[in-house]
Structure 1
Amino acid sequence: MRSTLAWGLGLAWMVFAAGNLVDVAVRGSGPSAHLATAALVASCGVVYVLVLRPRVTHTEDTLRIVNPLRDVWIPWKSVTQVDVTDVLRVHVGEEVHRAWALRQKSRRPKFSVFGGNNSTNSGTTETKEAPRDVDMMADTLRDYAERRAVLDQGEPGPVRLVWSPFALVALVVPLAALLVVIVLP
């Protein structure tokens, strides 16, 4: 579960950057080619970590939240609440784990830009907002957690919080190379 638009734009950037890297390799030379290459590779690392990597997945036993630099594995029996603020949040007792991948878009305005309102023929000005994708996903995860809590017996397992070494390398190494290319002539 992730934003399809963000994932598509991230993938489009990767294709664009790959095409430019081929162009720099074929026609580029000198310091400007090194700078362009380092900037493109650094931008790909940033896009991977911030756009392509974040997601929420689940198995029969656990819910996995993949954020830019950390992964969180939460046993279903440990989930106490799932809600939405600016992002999807999963509560485990007093702990709150936020999912970068499922962000809430801003609410739709109840009144139009031209001063009219969205009232119905009955004269009421009350409007009902359509459910957002992140709200529907929170409902789905909440229902799944409740079903798994009933089915699972015994004590819940521990929540595992793990830094992603691949994400750290994908971000730090290209940015360090870009810094070296900028600083050294």
Structure 2
Amino acid sequence: MSDPQNPVAEPAEPAYKDRCFRSPAGIAGGVLLLALGAWLGIDAVIRGEGRTPWLALAGLLLAVPLVVAFTVRPAVYANDERLRVRNPFRTVTLPWASIATLRSGYSNEVLTTTGAKFQLWAIPVSLRGRKKAARRQSQAAASGDPTGGRPFLDPHAPPPRSTGDQSMDELRGLAEQHAADESAKGEPAVRWAYEIIAPSAAGAVLLAVLLAVT
């Protein structure tokens, strides 16, 4: 038992918990590609003859990191202090005060006060989702029913938007809320993902060597 006169301090909870934004479709596609590549690559290694197993291994060393980089790795983390963007080949940490704007066009991007621009790979733009949301709004306006024929919806709720646009709205709200906070000040920091770049580059070199001597 702990002494009531000298209580043991419990571990403190993190002051700011990250909110994570990712693309479920991208992750699912990446897992399927990795499973297919592993099946074909392992089959070539086991049953292949001559240089085929080595070519298969070099191809896997090149392809697997790239598939992971563009599908499973991308994520956006946000808390009360900063935005952390994990893109395929680098991770960018941006205190809210260093962000000028978050904009959406054919891609979702964050612009810093120094003019640098970073794409948010984890929050893709869905033109189909935007068209679907716009169609619902036009149908609701034409029918005079703010729920668009869906009585279970709150008629006072804001118009439906695509998932990507909703995520960007949330990030803009966090940026506006915390941009003036003392804890949200600082300079952007960029870290390259050498754990992705190095094995992929090694695989490319090995594959080029094997093809050259074949």
Taking the TM superposition and a 5 Å limit, the aligned residue runs for 1:2-151 are 2-93=22-113, 94-106=115-127, 107-108=130-131, 120=142, 130-150=160-180
Identical-residue share of aligned pairs (%): 24
CA distance in structure 2 between the partners assigned to 1:97 and 1:11 by the alignment: 25
CA distance in 1, matches of 2:106, 2:200: 25
Q: 1:121 to 1:154 in 2, by over 3 A?
A: closer
**Closer, same or farther: CA 25–74 of 1 in aligned 2, 3 Å:** same
SS in 1 for 2:185: coil
SS at 2:120 equivalent: strand
Distance 1:28 1:163 in 2: 36
The answer as to 2:187 corresponding to 1:166 is: no
CA contact under 8 A between 2:95 and 2:184: conserved in structure 1? Answer: no
Q: TM-score, normalised by structure 1?
A: 0.79
Which aligned runs of 4 or more in structure 1 are off by greater than 3 angstroms? 117-122
Larger radius of gyration: 2
**Deviation per CA, 1:114-171, whole angstroms, max 9, x where unpaired?**
xxx979457xxxxxx8411121111111111222235x22782011122221121132
Specify every segment of 5 or more residues in structure 2 that has no aligned partner in the other structure, as ranges: 1-20, 145-158
Deviation at 1:65, TM superposition (A): 0.9
